[in-house]
């Protein structure tokens, strides 16, 4: 009687939860609701499956119905047998038979628990496999994106000068990558495996985007790419006035001054970007320092605090500055061996990045880079 009353009370709590329920009561109520939901869902699924089989596979439906009928018949026969044993005075034998059936049922529970553990293990390994292939999937998507961009670029270059197309595609790519890689607030919420897989894909796809951009501009003028058809392995044309952008950057001719100007512009824009970042970091340091000094009622000279803020900004950003100098030097040196068009893309990429720094304020922070290029430079040059 007490069990029935407690069960009725639990059902009432689930259906009509009190407004001021405790977290423990709330957790128990949600657990009961979840159990009821899955029980009803399983029942509805079984009924729907039987209806489907009765409509589209009558023979299978009859087999299942016969199995269920025999099972129920066995239960009825055992029930009647127990009744007969009790009536003829064989109560102990009836109890022994019940105990035997109970032990058999408990063994079935063990079997069910084994299958449950096996299923959980399979799900765990499946999740680990899914997490393992996420980086592979991300780089596969990046490879397909690279091929699509390269085919589009080469197809356009078969009949047109690619100067303006290069300008547009460079700006669009840097804009898209900047938006995709924009700084985000750290998420400290517990992560499920789906969220973890999403983060692994995003991180790997960011790395693949960096590789895509570098390899794309490195191969746009190649005429011996084995994965492209012969009609796309052609020489491209890009010219502004009498300045041929398809000549190597180290070519010494009457337009050498323009090439030097391109190199200087690309480097100066990057220098300006980093000066702005250092200044922004110094401003943050200045605000923090003055706030602390004001709270402690300390006298100070503004010039001294500014110099301290700038020194601290440079000190905390030295590794990132070294990475920037190293990467820019390598990039310019390599691209000088290739057509001048690639030097133009370096300058355009720097100019677009400078523009994006002002649009996405989080990019102004001088933080430790965790992108693929930064990791490679740090490892190779021990920065």
302 and 341 in a single domain? The answer is: yes
254 and 381 in a single domain? The answer is: yes
- Tell which of 61, 95, 119 closes a domain: 119
Of the listed ranges 92-96, 171-175, 186-190, the least confidently predicted one is: 186-190
Of the listed ranges 91-95, 156-160, 300-304, the least confidently predicted one is: 91-95
Per the structure, how many domains does the chain have?
A: 3
Instruction: Indicate whether 242 belongs to any domain.
Output: no
The C-alpha atoms of residue 383 and residue 377 are separated, in whole angstroms, by 7
347 and 381 in a single domain? The answer is: yes
Instruction: Indicate whether 139 belongs to any domain.
Output: yes
350 and 367 in a single domain? The answer is: yes
Q: Dihedral sign, CA of 145, 146, 150, 153?
A: positive
125 and 113 in a single domain? The answer is: no
Name the residue among 182, 180, 172 with its Cα closest to residue 201: 180
pLDDT at residue 224, rounded to an integer: 86
58 and 20 in a single domain? The answer is: yes
Contact 350, 273 (CB under 8 A): yes
- Tell which of 214, 237, 260 closes a domain: 237
338 and 289 in a single domain? The answer is: yes
pLDDT at 188 over 70: no
251 and 383 in a single domain? The answer is: yes
279 and 159 in a single domain? The answer is: no
- Tell which of 181, 208, 237 closes a domain: 237
Domain span holding position 328: 247-383
Which residues is 244 bridged to in the sheet? 239
pLDDT band with cut points at 50, 70 and 90 for residue 377: very low
55 and 78 in a single domain? The answer is: yes
């Amino acid at each position: 009687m007490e069990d029935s009353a407690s069960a009725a009370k639990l059902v009432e709590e689930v259906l009509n939860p009190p407004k001021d329920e405790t977290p423990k009561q709330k957790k128990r109520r949600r657990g009961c609701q979840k159990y009821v939901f899955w029980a009803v869902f399983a029942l509805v699924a079984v009924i729907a499956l039987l209806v489907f089989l009765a409509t589209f596979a009558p023979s299978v439906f009859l087999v299942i119905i016969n199995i269920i009928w025999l099972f129920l018949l066995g239960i009825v026969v055992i029930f009647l047998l127990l009744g007969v044993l009790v009536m003829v005075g064989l109560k102990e034998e009836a109890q022994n038979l019940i105990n035997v059936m109970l032990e058999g049922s408990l063994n079935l529970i063990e079997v069910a628990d084994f299958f449950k553990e096996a299923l959980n293990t399979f799900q765990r390994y499946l999740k680990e496999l899914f997490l393992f292939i996420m980086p592979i999937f991300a780089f596969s998507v990046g490879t397909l994106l690279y091929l699509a961009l390269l085919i589009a670029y080469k197809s356009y270059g078969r009949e047109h000068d690619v100067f303006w197309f290069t300008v547009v595609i460079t700006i669009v790519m840097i804009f898209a990558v900047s938006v995709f890689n924009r700084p985000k607030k750290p998420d400290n919420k517990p992560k499920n495996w789906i969220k973890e897989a999403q983060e692994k894909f995003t991180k790997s796809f960011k790395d693949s985007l960096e590789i895509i951009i570098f390899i794309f501009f490195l191969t746009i003028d190649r005429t011996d790419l084995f994965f492209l058809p012969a009609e796309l392995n052609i020489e491209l044309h890009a010219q502004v006035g009498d300045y041929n952008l398809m000549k190597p950057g180290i070519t010494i001719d009457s337009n050498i001054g323009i090439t030097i100007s391109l190199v200087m512009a690309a480097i100066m824009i990057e220098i300006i970007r980093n000066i702005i970042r250092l200044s922004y970091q110094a401003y943050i340091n200045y605000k923090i320092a003055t706030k602390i000094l004001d709270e402690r009622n300390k006298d100070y000279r503004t010039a001294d605090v500014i110099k301290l803020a700038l020194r601290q900004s440079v000190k905390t950003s030295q590794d990132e500055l070294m990475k920037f100098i190293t990467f820019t030097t390598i990039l310019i040196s390599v691209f000088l061996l290739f057509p001048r068009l690639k030097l133009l893309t370096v300058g355009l990429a720097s100019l677009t990045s400078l523009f994006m720094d002002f649009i996405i304020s989080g990019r102004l922070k001088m933080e430790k880079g965790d992108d693929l290029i930064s990791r490679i430079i740090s490892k190779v040059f021990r920065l």
